[in-house]
Amino acid sequence: MTAGGIDLRAGGGADIDAVMAVMSDSFDRRYGEAWTAPQCAGLLPMPGVWLTLASDHAGAIGFSLSRVVANEAELLLLAVRSSTQRRGVGKMLLQRFIEDAKKRGADRLHLEVREGNHAVKLYEEFGFALVGRRRNYYSGPDGRCYDALTMAKIVDGLD
């Protein structure tokens, strides 16, 4: 266990149900940001992809899904159960992503996030900066579309 009784561990295919439980609880359905179980299960076995699960005494409360290709690592998903948000779990998972990415040889980190998502503030706090925009990247169930912001961070031995 780490600070606050939260444990971070590497996950795998056996954790898809836990991932989907957090996914459906955390993402706002209006924006079409959440992934389906087949999307997650299909990506997990691919080279360079890794899953990190955050748990407390009651089970999984958050996760991150990431991928490294050569010297670039991408944070694909980050989510924390709504009942445990604003307690630092997102920061723990983001810090772990940065550390794992560096261990895997990445020096450029990037991610996409919906414009207006409060996670933008979290990413900025960790040194990610806006580098691009993908118009209408997300589409909600009502057909409305939302831009994605591309954010990136260069890491070195001091991060």
Q: Does 119 bind ligand COA (CB under 6 A)?
A: yes
SS3 for 15?
helix
For the chain, what's the residue count? 159
Which residue type sits at 111? L
Q: How far is the CB of 66 from ligand COA (least distance, A)?
A: 11
Rounded CA separation 43/59 (Å): 23
Report how far apart the first and last C-alpha atoms of the chain are (Å, whole number). 23
Helix ranges, the chain (H) = 16-26, 37-43, 89-103, 119-125
Q: How far is the CB of 126 from ligand COA (least distance, A)?
A: 9
Give the nearest residue (CB) to ligand COA.
90
Q: Does 110 bind ligand COA (CB under 6 A)?
A: no
Angle at the Cα of 146 from the Cα atoms of 143 and 149, rounded to 5 degrees: 160
Q: How far is the CB of 78 from ligand COA (least distance, A)?
A: 5
Nearer to ligand COA, 72 or 126 (CB): 126
Q: Are 52 and 22 in contact (CB under 8 A)?
A: no
Q: What x/- string results for residues 52 through 91 when contact with ligand COA is judged by CB under 6 A?
A: -------------------------xxxx----xxxxxxx
Of 9, 29, 30, 118, the residue at the interface with ligand COA (CB under 6 A) is 118
Residues 6+ apart with CB under 8 A from 92: 2, 3, 6, 8, 54
Q: Are 142 and 30 in contact (CB under 8 A)?
A: yes
Nearer to ligand COA, 103 or 121 (CB): 121
Q: How far is the CB of 53 from ligand COA (least distance, A)?
A: 13
Active site residue 123: yes
- 123, 137, 138, 146: the catalytic one is 123
Binding residues (CB under 6 A) for ligand COA: these are 26-27, 33, 77-80, 85-91, 113, 117-119, 121-122, 125
